[in-house]
Amino acid sequence: MVKKSLIAIALLAFLATTVQAADLDPNIPDHSFKYDDHWPWTYTALPICCIDVYMDIGYYVSIKDCDDLKIVLKQVNCSVIGKVDDDFPCYYGCTKFKILTNFPVKLGTSLTKVGDVIDGWEASFDDDTVPGDAGDWVEREICISAWKAKIWTASPGDEVLVGTVCITVKPNA
């Protein structure tokens, strides 16, 4: 009997101590549960792994206001473009343009005649390379030299379309 009484007393003592942990704190007006030290706490995010992010960026080239550019050829002495008098009549004209690129570029040209006026012609640049500055417009000049022009095959006028020049680009390696 004494054993049963001791077990009952021990069980009551155990229950009494567990109930105390859930007592309301009378000093806190909203009657929340009592807590010690830093509980409850807030979680703080800590960086534990930083990963580099990469992007596949392609080559970029742009010529500013390309639709507004034109070259008007004017008659010159053939010696001005490095030709002889037998190449008469000779013409020459230039225009400046701005180019933006994110890689080093080598400029080139593609010439297409319109009509029969142009016999021989060539295009040249003041500098045919552009550094890949990625953010700064670079100014270049393109010039056209024409010789042995067949001016009798077209009607007279100040700006008669005789051809087009396309600026080409490729990596400057």
Q: Please state, in angstroms and rounded to a whole number, the distance separating the CA atoms of residues 32 and 123.
A: 88
If we measure between CA atoms, which residue out of 143, 128, 18 comes closest to residue 81?
Answer: 143
What is the three-class DSSP state of 19? Answer: helix
Name the nearest CA neighbour of 78 among 94, 69, 65, 91: 91
Predicted confidence (pLDDT) per residue in 134-145, tens digit:
678 999 999 999
pLDDT band at 132 (very low <50, low <70, confident <90, very high): confident
- What percentage of the chain reaches a pLDDT higher than 90? 64
Domain count, the chain: 1
* Position 133 confidence tier, pLDDT thresholds 50, 70, 90: confident
In a domain, 167, yes or no: yes
DSSP string, 112-149: EE-SSS-SEEEEEES--EE---SS--EEEEEEEEEES-
In a domain, 31, yes or no: no
- Give the pLDDT of residue 131: 92
For residue 70, tell me if it sits in a domain: yes
Q: Provide the terminal-to-terminal Cα distance of the chain, rounded to the nearest Å.
A: 102
DSSP string for 38-85: T-S--------------------EEETTGGG-----EEE-GGGGT--G
Average of per-residue pLDDT across 74-95: 96
Looking at the domain assignment, is residue 138 inside a domain?
yes
Q: Pick from 160, 158, 130, 156: which is nearest to 142 by CA?
A: 130
Biggest distance spanned by C-alpha atoms of the chain: 140
pLDDT at 93 over 90: yes
**Does a structural domain hold residue 12?**
no
Question: pTM, whole model, 2 decimals?
Answer: 0.70
pLDDT band at 147 (very low <50, low <70, confident <90, very high): very high
Give the range of the structural domain holding residue 89, as residue numbers without chain letter: 61-171
pLDDT computed for residue 118 by the predictor: 94
Does residue 95 belong to any structural domain of this protein? yes
The per-residue pLDDT for range 60-78, each reduced to its tens digit, is: 999 999 999 999 999 999 9
Tally the C-alpha atoms within 13 A of residue 100's C-alpha that lie toward its C-beta: 9
